[in-house]
Chains A and B, each alone.
Chain A
């Protein structure tokens, strides 16, 4: 199972929106509505930000949103804030194995 493809980095100014794509295949992203997104600050454990493509866990700001079209899922951060600067990984169920994305570094300019 190959890793899901994410852009290496995206950046935006405070208050702007950024979108991170996560491209897989019909065997993972396109085949299941089980895409989740994780935020990772250096030296800290990953944090769940989105699950089931577009659901937000309690406590995650509503400026984080998720969507999916075909084999590509997306995470959008609206109203970018300094604390959003981190690495972000997508993950998809793929019928027993789970496959993660290559990771995207979000930089707040």
Chain B
């Protein structure tokens, strides 16, 4: 059964960085793109960027360019999302989700990682 297993909840201070991991299982790691999406409390979903695990190419929306870095470690079949210069508005549940090729939809999602930014 396909699973995307994410790392546990984090509490960070404003100005710090957070790195969330996503480890897919039960499929060939480089076959699917991995996207990151967040949901702030009481808010909708927001796309943060994506990586092609095969070659490492990434894409980010303008809002997050320079502040979000998505990487992958092929030796451990793990994808990472690092968000820097945290502010309180970054408090949210962060999800990874997979996309097959250029199909433009997300067929499986991780369980979510709560990141709380608080002084």
Contacts and interface: CB of A to CB of B under 8 A. Distances in A.
Interface in A25-54: 32, 34, 36, 38, 44-48, 51-52
A97 B61 contact: yes
Contacts of B37: 100
Interface stretch (B10-18, B42-50, B75-83): B42-50
A34 B104 contact: yes
A34 B110 contact: no
Contacts of A47: 109
B105 A1 contact: no
B36 to A, nearest CB: 11
Interface in B63-106: 95, 97, 103-106
A93 B44 contact: no
B51 to A, nearest CB: 14
Contacts of A44: 111
A89 interface: yes
A36 B105 contact: yes
A99 B35 CA distance: 13
A44 B104 CA distance: 22
A78 interface: no
B112 interface: yes
Interface centre among B46, B97, B106, B110 (most CB of A within 10 A): B106
Contacts of A34: 104-105
B59 A100 contact: no
Contacts of A32: 104
A91 interface: yes
A76 B45 CA distance: 21
A48 B105 contact: yes
19 contacts: A36-B104, A36-B105, A45-B112, A46-B95, A48-B105, A48-B108, A51-B104, A51-B105, A52-B104, A91-B105, A96-B61, A97-B47, A98-B35, A99-B47, A100-B44, A100-B46, A101-B44, A102-B44, A103-B44
